[in-house]
Chains A and B, each alone.
Chain A
C-alpha cells in the first residue's frame, strides 16, 4: 500500500504536466503510463545487482541513522533535536531511495512477468498453429483416401469385353486410335457404346410392348366371337338329339356320362375310364354306367380331412364331461363308425352280358375315408331261375365272386393303413360290414388302380391307370367264366337233387352204357360239418378245406351198398377241380384208411380229373366226376372176390368186362374205363 501511494505520489512530483482532476485510477493509469515509460527506460538502464547493493547500503544507513537517533534521543540534549532533524531528513532521503528501489524492483518484476507472458503467448500461438496444421493434414489425408477409394458408378456396369467392343462399336464411338493408348478415353468410349446400345434396346422394348398390346386386343376380339358361338352350338346339339336317337348314336348320353364322371373320386374314375375303353375296344358285351347323386358329390368337394383326429378330440372332450353324457357315447361311436365307412355318393355300374343272356351286374363303390373300393354283385338270368336248395350259395351276392383269384376272399380290407383307423373307432374287421358295403376284393382295388403294398401302410395310394388296364381283360374274362360256371352248376344242382346225374351227350363216351349205381342224395353241408367227418381228415390236414369253399354231400347207392362222398367245391371251379372223399358202407365201413381200392377210386376222380373235364369251358366236370363215381362203385362191387366160406350167390354179379380183376402188390381193381372197346383195365 505504501508502495502504491508512493507510486501515486511520485508521478505528482516528477510530472508536472499531469492532468490532476480525473478519476484516481485514470490519472494513475495515465500517469503511470507516462511514468511507466520513463521508469521503464530507467529500469533498462540500471543494473539490478547494483540496485541491490544500493538497497543493502541504504538499509544499513537507515539502521545507522536510526541507531544514532536513538542514541541522541536517549542522551537527550539540545543539539539533539537539530541532529535528529538532520538525521531524520537523511533517513527520509534514504526512505525515498528505498521506495524508488522498491518501485524499480516492482517494475522489473512486472517487466519480467510481462515478458514471460508474452513468450508464453507466442508459444501458445505456435502450438495452436501446429494443432491446426496437424488437423488439416489429417483432414487432407482423409480426403486423399476418400478420393483414392472412390468408385465411379461406371465400374458397376458390365461392359462388353474389349474385343467385342472393338468389333461391334462403330468407329466414331470406338475411336480406336485414341482409345487404344489412353485407358481413360477407352473407358469413356466404352461407356458411350453402352449408352448407345441401351438406347437401342429400350426402343426395341417399347416396340414389343406395343405389339403385345395389339395382339392381346385381337385375342379378346376372337374370344368374344367364340363365346358368342357357344349358345348357337348348344341349340344345334339340341336340335340334333332326335336325329341321334333315330340313328342309334347316343353321343349325348356318352357326353353326359363323361360330365358326371368328372365328379367321380380318382379310383372310380380310373375304373370308369378303363372299363369304357375296354368295352369299346375288346368286348361289346360290357356296358358301363354311373349311378348316384352328382349334387352330393359336388357338395363333398372339400376333401375329407382327418375326421379321425377331430373325433379323437371330441372323444377326449366327452370323457371329461359328466355322467349324463355316457348313454349317448355308444351312439356317438356308432356315428363315428358310420362316418368312417361312408361311401362316395357316386358309384360305377358294370354290366357283363354272357352268351346265354344272363347278366352280371357289378356295382363299385368307393369308401372315402378308407381309400378302398368295394363291389356288390348280382346275377340276373334271361329266364326266371328256380333255385334248388343246395344251390343257395352258388349265386348269392355274398359269395358268387369269392376267390376269383386264389385267396381273394374279400372279407378283409386290403389297405393296411385301415387297421389303425379301425382301432380308433372300435371296428374289429370289415367282415361285419361287407354285406352292406360290398366286398373289398383285391382285384377290385386293382381295377381302380389302387395298389397297396403288403404290410406297409402308405399314406397316399393314388389311382394308377396302367395297373387297372393290365388287369382289366383278365378280370373280365374271369368274371364271365365265373358267372357261367355258377349258372351251369345251378342247373346241374337242380338235376342232381332229383337224383339224376346230367351227363351231356358229348361226355357220354367217358362212361359205359349201363350204370347201375344211382345218386340218391345231394345236399350242401356246412364247413364245420365237413371238418368233423372222420374220412375227410387228410384233406383238412393238407389245408385244402378252407372256409371260402362250398361243401356238399352226395350219396350213391346200389343194393345194400351205400357210398358217401364229401365234396369240396372250390370257388375257382372249374379250373380247380372239386375234391371227393369217400366212405363206403358195405360189409363194414371202408375208407381210404383201410381200403386201398377206395383210395384208388378217390384218385380216379380227384387226380385224373382232366379226362373228365369235357369240352371247354369244362362246366361238366362235377357231373362227370359224379357219374364216374357211380361207375367206380359198380366196378368195385362187382369185382369183389367171392368169399367161399359164406353161403349164397354174390350180391352183385359181374357184368363189366374186365381183363384182370386184380393187379399189382395192392391188388387194385380195374377202375379205368376204355372207350370205345368198353372194357375195364388198370392204370
Chain B
C-alpha cells in the first residue's frame, strides 16, 4: 500500500543529530506540579522538561503550547523517577536525588536546591534510583533502586534514617500502604516485600513467580510495577498482572495481558495499566478488560493522573514511554493530543 512520504527537509549536522536524539528518547518519569497546571517529564538523557498543561488544554492551544515551557539538564544519567511535594520537585536517576523549587523552575531558573546521595555499599558502579516514595506522615522520602535497599531520608534534615535490606536484586517500584503505614517494594528478584516503617523490618514477602497462575517464566520473574489500595495490591512485570489480597497473600484475579506491564495504578473503580505495547489498558476489578486506548509510543513506562484539587480543568491522564512524546488523555476513552520534547 502506498504510504505518504513526508518531504525530506535538507538537514545539516545539528538537525540530524537532534532528530536522532529525539527518535531515541525515552521518558521514564512524570510528575504533576502542586498547583496542578504543569507537568514535569524526565528522560533518558537526564533532561527534565516542564509542560504547561493549562496552556495545552486551553481552547487557544497552538503547536507551541505542546512544547515544553522550559527544558534543563537535571542529571548526568537518566531521570528514572520523580515525585512532587507541595513546593518541591524531587528527581532521582543515577544514584542521586535532587530537589528543585517549583516556583523557581516555572520562572525558568533551573538551579537545584539540594542533592543527596544515600550511603551506598559498593563503590564500583553507582547504583540507580528507580523509585521515589513520599511518606507524608513522617515527612520522609523513600528511595529504592540499584543497590537492593530501601533508604529513608528525612526531608527536613536530609539525613538518611534507615536502610531496609532484604531484596536480592535491584528494586523496581515502591508503593505506600497508608493505613499501617507500610511500604511495598517490588524487585528484579521477583518478590514483593512489605516493610513496616516504624520497626524497619520486613513484614511480609510475596514471591509472585512461585504462583502458577501468574508466573510466566519466558518473561522472567521481575516485578516491574506495584499499586496498592490498602487491602489489595496489583503487581505485574515478568509475571502476569495480578490482583492480590494482601492479608492472605493470595492472587485473586489474573488479568489476561500478555505484554509485561511497567506501570499500574488504581483509579476510581478501575485499574489502569501500561507497559509493552501502545495501549493504556483499563481493567475492571473482576478481571475484564474494559478498554484499550492506544497511545503514540510503542511502549509505555509511566502513567500519571493529575488529581490536584487546585486545577480541576487539568484533570488528565498522561502517559509516556519509549518516545519523546507524552500522551494526554482528557477522557479515558481516547488520546486527545501529545506533548512532545
| Cα distance A542–B322 in the bound complex, in angstroms | 16
Q: Does B336 contact A (CB under 8 A)?
A: no
Does A603 sit within 8 A of B, measured CB to CB?
yes
For the complex, what is the distance from the CA of A663 to the CA of B93, rounded to whole Å?
Answer: 11
User: What's the minimum C-beta distance from B6 to chain A, rounded to whole angstroms?
Assistant: 5
Lowest 9 A-B CB distances belong to which pairs? A407-B10, A546-B8, A603-B24, A645-B217, A406-B10, A593-B298, A406-B12, A543-B6, A606-B20
Cβ-closest chain B residue relative to A532: B3
Does A21 have its Cβ within 8 Å of any Cβ on chain B? no
Contact with A along B19-30 (1 / 0, CB 8 A): 111111010100
The interface centre, meaning the residue of A538, A643, A660 with most chain B CB atoms within 10 A of its CB, is: A660
B224 is contacted by which of A592, A593, A603, A665 (Cβ under 8 Å)? Answer: A665
Q: Tell whether, in the assembled complex, residue A664 and residue B78 are in contact, meaning their CB atoms are under 8 Å apart.
A: yes
Contacts of A667 in B (CB 8 A): 188, 222
Tell me the chain B residues, 52-96 only, with Cβ under 8 Å from chain A. 77-78, 80
Query: Of A547, A593, A664, which is within 8 A of B8 by CB?
Result: A547
Q: Would you call A195 an interface residue if the criterion is a C-beta within 8 Å of the partner chain's C-beta atoms?
A: no
Whether B298 and A592, one on each chain, are in contact in the complex, defined by CB atoms closer than 8 angstroms, is: yes
CA distance A646 to B220 in the complex (A): 12
Q: A579 near B: Cβ within 8 Å?
A: yes
Question: Are B262 and A665 in contact (CB-based, < 8 A)?
Answer: yes
**Cβ-neighbour of B77 out of A408, A539, A683 (below 8 A):** A683
Complex: how many Å from CA A380 to CA B104?
Answer: 62
Q: Decide yes or no: A544 and B19 within 8 Å by CB, A662-B188, A663-B170 being known contacts.
A: yes
Contacts A602-B24, A665-B80 given: A544-B16 contact, CB under 8 Å? Answer: yes
Stretch at the interface among B123-131, B243-251, B282-290: B123-131
Q: Closest CB of chain B to A660's CB: distance in Å?
A: 7
A528 to B44, CA, bound (A): 33
**B172 A665 Cβ-Cβ under 8 A:** yes
**Range class of the B interface residue count:** 35 or more
Q: Which residues of A contact B26 (CB under 8 A)?
A: 596, 599, 666
26 contacts between A and B (CB under 8 A): A403-B10, A406-B11, A407-B11, A531-B3, A541-B6, A542-B22, A543-B6, A543-B7, A543-B11, A547-B8, A570-B16, A576-B11, A577-B16, A579-B16, A593-B298, A599-B24, A599-B26, A606-B20, A643-B217, A645-B218, A659-B124, A662-B188, A663-B128, A663-B146, A664-B78, A665-B80
Question: A524-555, CB under 8 A of B: which get 1 and which 0?
Answer: 00000001000000111111111110000000
Q: Which residue of chain B has its CB nearest to the CB of A659?
A: B125
Cβ-closest chain A residue relative to B215: A645
Q: Is the CB of A665 within 8 A of B301?
A: yes
In angstroms, how far is the closest chain B Cβ from the Cβ of A536?
11
CA distance A417 to B125 in the complex (A): 64
Q: A547-B8, A596-B299, A606-B24 are in contact. Are A664 and B217 (CB under 8 A)?
A: no
**Does chain A have a CB within 8 A of B13?**
yes
Q: How far is the CA of A297 from the CA of B197 in the complex (A)?
A: 95
Q: In the bound complex, how far is the Cα of B218 from the Cα of A646, in angstroms?
A: 8
8 additional contacts (CB under 8 A) given A543-B9, A592-B298, A645-B218: A406-B12, A540-B5, A579-B16, A596-B26, A599-B322, A643-B218, A646-B218, A665-B130
B301's partner among A541, A576, A646, A666 (CB-CB below 8 A) is: A666
A665, B321: Cα distance in complex, Å: 11
A229 to chain B, nearest CB (A): 59
Contacts of A599 in B (CB 8 A): 24, 26, 322
| Distance of A607 Cα from B24 Cα, bound (Å) | 8
Is A575 on the interface with B (CB-CB < 8 A)? yes
A406 to B301, CA, bound (A): 36
